Amino acid sequence: MYGAQALNAQDIPIYKAEKLMKRVEEGKDTMYILNFWATWCAPCIKELPEFEKLEEQNTQKPVKIILVSLDFREDVPEKLQRFLQRKKISSDVVWLDETNAEYFIPLIEPLWTGSIPATVLIYQKKEYRNFFEGTITASQLQLLMDKQLRKE
């Protein structure tokens, strides 16, 4: 579980922003795609299948998709787990245990206003970083990824 605390036997890891970004920084040869979402966010829910599709298309590439839940503390883990099971989400999901947006947002992405969905692409190997506030499609992400993952 990458050193994160687990909520219960269903294993939705709990992360603080610093821990999440440290995990990304340690994966120098992996492109990380962090999607910030919540079960109460309709555009987020609509977008989730795009990340599932992207993960299926990139199983042989150094890509790691992490769906970062911003659900309310009282909805974790029960409501979040039921949602993931009902929607058949297989991507890695973590819950961000942060309440002070003025603190954690700049740690993740200084351009982020706090609205969701939001997606950050980070590829340390090529010092690549890109950020999208709002929905994005698997095909849009795939184009960006392919450009960065081409052999040097």
pLDDT, tens digit, for every residue of 34-52?
999 999 999 999 999 999 9
Residue 125, classified by CB atoms within 10 Å of its CB into exposed (0-12), middle (13-18) or buried (19+), is middle
With a cut of 60, say whether residue 119 has pLDDT above it: yes
- Higher-scoring residue by pLDDT: 1, 84: 84
Among the four given CATH numbers 3.40.50.10330, 3.40.50.880, 3.30.565.10, 3.40.30.10, the one describing domain 5-146: 3.40.30.10
- Summary mean pLDDT of the chain: 91
3-state secondary structure of 63: strand
